Structure formats: structure tokens, C-alpha cells
Chains A and B, each alone.
Chain A
Amino acid sequence: MKKKILSVLLSTAMVAGILAGCGSSADNAPADNAPAEEAPAEEAPAEEAPAEEAPAQATGDKIVYWSMWDAAEPQAQAISQSIEAFTAETGIEVDLQFKGRTGIREGLQPALDAGTNIDLFDEDIDRVNTTWGSYLLDLEELAKANDYESTANAGLMAACREVAGGTLKSIPYQPNVFAYFYNADIFEEAGVTAVPTTWDEFLDACQKIKDAGYTPITNDNAYIASLFGYHMSRLIGEPATEEVVKNGDWDNEAVLKTAQAYEELASKGYFSETIESNQWPAGQNTELAMGTAAMYLNGSWLPNEVKDIAGEDFNWGCFSYPAVDGGVDGTEASNYGAQVFAINAKSEKAEQAFQLITYLTKGEADKLLSDMSVGIPADSNNAEWPALLSNVKPVMDSLSTRYPWGAGAEANADMTPIIVENFTKLCGGSLDAQGFVDALKAAGN
């Protein structure tokens, strides 16, 4: 009988052991080795680099920070360095875990739901505030108590409040702006003396560039829908564009007008000959950075991404998407944003976490991040931007209306690939304006 009881006990222990072994993996959120669905700031498809995760140790007295960067990226290196300095200065220890974009995107919400101890995390301004809005601690009081806003970018702070429904739930860093980036040397050689602010000036500039023997505009599949979104939003505003895209209102005359504008660009030969075949990053790397194409609508991370190809002597220019005749929005509107830090509403170390956020987004640490990643500084006292981005500053300063990503063109996931396919054909000249509209209409059936 004794033997029997012993065997049953041993078997039970084995089952419990196996189950416990499975259970403990919950803390080790999925390591980021999926390269897909990267945020565009990534330079090249990350090669299954295992995220450098701190071992899942008892983190009782440490701030736990889940970061959106991959350990090998310059942003991650800058943040690591700054956090070491922070710990040395304040004695507050930080458990820094680089999850990568996909790791955060797929793993954060399940981890928060499971009650994982995470004090602080970061991601894109829109995703943090909309997708994870209900998990965030309201930061208004902490910001006020620490006088945070005296040296913060007012426009971005306002944007953070706007997306969080009127209150501050995130702190921006690594600001970015989405606009036309161009090769200033080609502009000069072609005799384009001022950046185009209207559609006519834009057409004029394209013609001059083409006459000078360069390709005026190029793009890649990853960003091409933004051309459609920006033009539509110039015509009828971003909220209306988003409505059209979400509801499939392709009869809206702005759709045809936009398509006609791009049909004209295509028919005049202003697009790269290979625009239909440009799979990111072919266009930005082999055309813009190599100096054969002049303009590319992209984010301010672009100069950093292509700096090794473009070389140090590449003269970057930047201008906001031109205004169009009879349109609602002008050059003051654009997609701009930032990565943002947010604190878990359940965090017991909110004050220390906010202290870390303040440390990382101000002064030396902010400057280090800006320098290492060729990014825009968040601290308004860091007035000196990296040289590659000096021409972006006037554009950023001139913006007052904020578009979300793609200016609404990608608001409907069921339509994005269909818009991309047909808009690419429109730019390549294998589809005309009416054909474009018809194709979108057909997709709704």
C-alpha cells in the first residue's frame, strides 16, 4: 500500500513539475525574431537577432522597462548607455528588456493582461494611446509636479493629449515627420530655387528635374499609399479621407481628382521607370540615395536609413506635401509624431518610472539618442539638430495640423493592399485614373 501511495505522489509531482515548467515561460514574452511588420525606422530586415533580454529574474526592486527597439539598433544602444548613467546617478535600477517592434506589438497586451510586472514601455504615439489606452497611467500630475513641460515640444505634447482623449498619458521622444525628402543638389542643378508649396510649383519642379536628366519622384511599395492619402487629405482633409477609405465611398470626387493628378504625373514621366517594381527599400536605396531620383515622400528617419549609401556629402532637403487648388489643407498639415513612453496604470513605481522618462527625454540622454540615431531631439533646449536633419526643422516648426499615419490612406486594413496595388499601377502608367477608381469600387463587392 505504501508503495502505491508513493507512486501516486511521485506521478502527481511529475505532472506538477511539467505544468510548472510550462507556466513559467509566461514571463519570457516572445523574443523578437520575426522580421516582418517592421516599423519603417528599421534600416534593414533584422536578421533573426535574438532580443537581448535580461534573464527573468526577481525584479522586485527594479523598474521594468519593455522597449520597442532591437538591441542592435542605435536607439537601443543610446538608451542602454543612458540608463547605465541614470542608475549610477540615482541608484534606481532598471530591468531593461529590448522586445523589438513585433515583440511589443504582439506581446505587450497579453503580458499586461496576465499581470506581468511591467512599469514602463514605449511604442508609436498612436498605438500606445489608442490600442493600449486603457492600460496607461494618467501622467498629468506627475508632469506638473516635475515641471516636465517647460522644455518639451509643445506641439507633440498637444498631440499626445489629443490622441489620448484630452489628457496626458504618454511622453513623446524621437519625434518624426513625414514629408517630401529631396536631393538638394539635383534641385540646384535643375534650377529649382525654392521648394514647391503648390501643386503647380510641384509640377514645374518635376519638369525641370526631368529636363535635367533625373527621375523626379520615386517611392516604394511600403509608403506609396501615403501619396494617395496626402493628396486626398489636401483636397478634403484627413478626417474626410479616412471616412472615404473606411466606408468605401469611392464615388467621392476627390478620389477621381487625386487619381487624375497622379495620372498626369505618370503620363509626363515624372515617376521612376521601375516604380511598379520597387519593393522597399529598392527605391530609397538604389534611386534616391544613389542620386538618380530627386524626391521621396517619407519619414525623417530616411536620412539615417540610407546614410551609408548616400554618403556624407548628400545634401538633404525637406518640404511639406504641396497644397492643391481648392483644397482644405495646406502645407501646415502633415503626419508627424513620435515614439512615446507610457507607464502601466498598475505600476507601483510610477514616480521612479517617470523620473527615468524625464532623464531619457531631456538633456544629455536626449542629445545622445538624437546623435546616435540621427533623430530629432525631444528636449526643446537641445536646439541643435543632427546635420542631416537641419532642413527638417523649418518643416516641423511650420506644422499645426496632425495627420495620422498615411494621412488616412491605410485606415482600412481590408483595402490597403488593394489601394497599394492599384495606386502603384496608376503611378507606373499601367492604369488610368478612371481605372483606378473602378478597381477600388470593384473591391467593395
Chain B
Amino acid sequence: MKKNKTMIVAFLAPAVIMFAIIFIYPIIRTVAMSFFKIEGVTDAVSKWQFSGLANYIKLFNTQLFRISMWNIFRIWLFGGIIVMGLALLFAAILTSGIRFKSGFRAIIYMPNVVSAVALATMWLQYAFSPKFGLFKSIGDLLHWKWLSKFQWLDPSHLFLALLVAYCFGMVGYHMLIFASGIERIGTEYFEAATLDGANRIQQFRYITLPLLKGVTKTNITMWSVSSAGFFLWSQLFSMVVSNTQTITPVVYMYQNIFGAGNSMTERNSGIGAAVGVLLSVCVVVIFIVCDKIFKDDDIEF
């Protein structure tokens, strides 16, 4: 086939133009905005006031923003450990040949199908209720006073409540990814291992886990991306006004762009943009670290 420059340009142009408009332009504009004071998010550039690094300095000097970063880190780390641990455990159990496999899988995946609004309302107004909640009832039943008296929703424990509720909803999704990874591994390896005398746990440790490296990386990447954009659950767990236990950087960004609660507060989309830039940097750092830890699959199977 003859190489034809015009054709190459013509066929590449749509993708390149779309990429530039949808990805490159917003990135450049957001980075630029973070150095300006901008009241409305769609204000004309002529209304922007250059403020240098003032937005970043203000963010680092604002306790609430630091709290929001700490919250997101806690969600990412502790939530990540809980969700990945449970997801892997369930995936291993489900793929071990138990009965009613698809039934259990459907049950564990179910929370992903239910609207987050309904789930959060169920947790907040029922499960965690100090008057008639699920945990209170269980505590009463077992005569565990510490459990029935535990105040899930007070300012000291709200984060824990949020974490439990959020992880409950996320396990199924990551479990499916793990399960598909495990099912990809050929049965002959396990058969060979069984003949060699390896038990189930040894098989999991020396066959399943190493071959799940790529899938684990995918899962951690997905988890990091969804954690960085943590917004809906935070809002649902602190209706109308945000809360120190549940605020995340994206919520903080929203408040700076659209105002907080019902009050008329100062708006500055430049700060919102700066939050976005900082979050992107965090995500990129996580990707780089992940890449270093989970080198591309060196095992072929």
C-alpha cells in the first residue's frame, strides 16, 4: 500500500482534534486557572485576577483542606486494605468450586446495583441509628453493651461509619475483577500442584497470588481513581453542611466553586482548580509507585 500523507492526516485528525479539545485544553485551562482568582467558573478570562501561588498557599494554610486530604488518604489506605482484602478473599472462595457460586456472587455484587443514595440512607437512618439501628439491635441481642451504646454517627466516629458503609458497597466490584483474574489461570497448574502435594492455601500463596499481579494492579488503580474523586458518599453522609469527618478534597473544591451549604460564601474557582491540580499530582504519584511495585507481568501463562 502506498503511503499517503494526506490520508494519514485525514484519518488521524479526528482523534487528535478530539483528544486536544477534550483532554489537553481542559488540563491547560485548569492549571492556568489555579494561578488566578476567579469568582464564577465560567467567567471570561478578562475577569481573572492573577494571584500567583496564592491559591496553593491558602490551601496549605487552611485546616479544613488539610483535613480533607487526610480523610481521602484514610479512605484510600484503610478502605483499600479492607476492600482489597475482602474482595480477594471472596474471589478465592467463589472460584474454589463451592456450590451456589453465582448466587453468592450476585449477593456480594448487589450493593453496586443499588443507588448510593438509597444505600447511604439505609446506613445512616437505619443501620447506624442510636435508637433502633441494626448494630444497636445486635448489641442488645448479644448483651454486648459496648456495641449497642456505640455512637456511630457522632463527630468522633462518623468517619468509621462512612468507611464501613462505603467499603460494603465496593467489595463486590473489586471481587469480580479478582475472580475473573483467578478464572483466567489454567486448572492444570492447580492439578499439578495438587499432585505434588500442595494444599489449598499453598496453592493460593504460590500460584494464584503471583499470577494475580496484573489484576491487582488494575484493582489498585481503579480504587485510587475512585478514591481521588470521592464525592457522593461524603455528601450523603453530611447533608446540607459538610463535616470534618467526611469532607474530601472534591467536596472542598465544589464548595469553592459553587458555594457551601445554604449560606452565601466566598467563591473562587481558582482554588477549585488548584485542588484539582493537587489531586492529579497525587494520582500520578500513586500510579508511578504502583508501576514500580507491580512491574509488568513477567510471568506468561
Q: Taking the complex as formed, is B242 at the interface, i.e. its CB lies under 8 A from any CB of chain A?
A: yes
Asked if B30 CB lies within 8 Å of chain A CBs, one says no
Report the minimal beta-carbon distance from B236 to chain A, rounded to whole angstroms.
Answer: 6
Alpha-carbon gap, A19 to B241, bound state (A):
39
Contact with B along A418-445 (1 / 0, CB 8 A): 1011101100101000000000000111
Known: A105-B259, A413-B256. A47 touches B240 (CB 8 A): no
User: Would B242 and A416 count as touching, CB distance under 8 A?
Assistant: yes
**A198: Cβ under 8 A from any B Cβ:** no
* Contact residues of A between 169 and 226, Cβ < 8 Å to B: 221-223, 225
Given A37-B261, A48-B117, are A113 and B125 also a contact pair (CB < 8 Å)?
no
B232-A34 in contact (CB<8A): yes
A-B pairs with CB below 8 Å: how many? Answer: 183
Segment touching A, from B7-15, B93-101, B209-217, B275-283: B7-15
Q: How far is the CA of A306 from the CA of B51 in the complex (A)?
A: 47
Task: Pick out which of these stretches binds chain A: B37-45, B75-83, B173-181, B286-294.
Answer: B37-45
Q: Which of A4, A35, A126, A278 contacts B264 (CB 8 A)?
A: A126
- CB-CB under 8 A for A45 and B117, given A38-B240, A421-B244: yes
Query: Inside 8 A of B14's CB, which chain A residues have their CB?
Result: 11, 14-15, 18
Contacts of B131 in A (CB 8 A): 274, 286
Asked whether A243 is an interface residue with its Cβ less than 8 Å from the other chain, the reply is no
Contact B256 A37 (CB under 8 A): no
* A421: B residues at CB distance < 8 A: 155, 243-245
Q: Min CB distance, A84 to chain B, in Å?
A: 31
Residues of A near B130 (CB, < 8 A) are 274, 277
B1-35 contact mask (Cβ, 8 Å, vs A): 1 or 0: 00010110011011001100100000000000000
> Are the C-beta atoms of B264 and A131 separated by less than 8 Å?
yes
Instruction: Give residues in A with beta carbon < 8 Å to B.
Output: 4, 7-8, 11-12, 14-15, 18-19, 22, 34-40, 44-48, 105-106, 109-110, 113-114, 124, 126-127, 130-131, 221-223, 225, 274, 276-282, 285-286, 404-406, 410-418, 420-422, 424-425, 428, 430, 443-445
In the complex, chain B residues whose CB is within 8 Å of the CB of A47 = 115, 117-118
Our pick among A286, A417, A430 for the contact of B244 (Cβ within 8 Å) is: A417
| Inter-chain contact A131/B259, CB cutoff 8 Å | yes
Chain A neighbourhood of B244, CB < 8 A: 417-418, 420-421
The answer to whether B263 and A404 have CB atoms under 8 Å apart is yes
A45-B120, A279-B239, A424-B154 provided; 7 other pairs, C-beta below 8 A? A8-B10, A11-B11, A35-B235, A37-B258, A47-B117, A222-B241, A416-B265
Closest to B153 in A: A277
How far, in Å, is A47 (CB) from chain B's closest CB?
A: 5
**How large, as a class, is the contact surface on chain B?**
35 or more
Contact status of A406 and B263, CB under 8 A, knowing A105-B258, A413-B255, A443-B63: yes
| 13 chain-A/chain-B pairs, Cβ below 8 angstroms | A7-B7, A8-B6, A37-B258, A130-B264, A221-B239, A222-B240, A274-B130, A277-B128, A277-B130, A280-B239, A417-B238, A421-B244, A424-B155
The residues of B that contact A278 with a CB separation of less than 8 Å are: 153
CB distance from A363 to the nearest CB of B (A): 30
Task: List residues of chain B with CB within 8 A of the CB of A105.
Answer: 258-259
Chain A residues with CB under 8 Å of B42's CB are 109-110, 113-114
Selected contact of A417 from candidates B7, B239, B241, CB within 8 Å: B241
Contact A416 B263 (CB under 8 A): yes
| B6 lies within 8 A of A404 (CB) | no
A106→B64 contact, CB < 8 A: no
Find out whether the CB atom of A106 lies under 8 angstroms from the CB atom of B258: yes
| CB <8 Å contact, A404 and B117 | no
B109 within 8 Å of A (CB atoms): no
Task: Report yes or no: A45 in contact with B239, Cβ–Cβ below 8 A.
Answer: yes
In the complex, which of the residues A277, A280, A406, A425 has the most CB atoms of chain B within 10 Å of its own CB atom? A277
The CA-CA distance from A267 to B104 in the complex, in Å, is 50
With A and B bound together, what is the CA distance between A282 and B260 in angstroms?
22
Give the Cβ gap from B121 to chain A, nearest Cβ, in Å. Answer: 6
Alpha-carbon separation in the docked complex, A105 to B267 (Å):
13
Q: Which 7 A-B pairs have the closest CB atoms?
A: A36-B235, A413-B260, A410-B263, A276-B154, A222-B240, A11-B10, A277-B153
**Interface presence of B262 (CB below 8 A):** yes
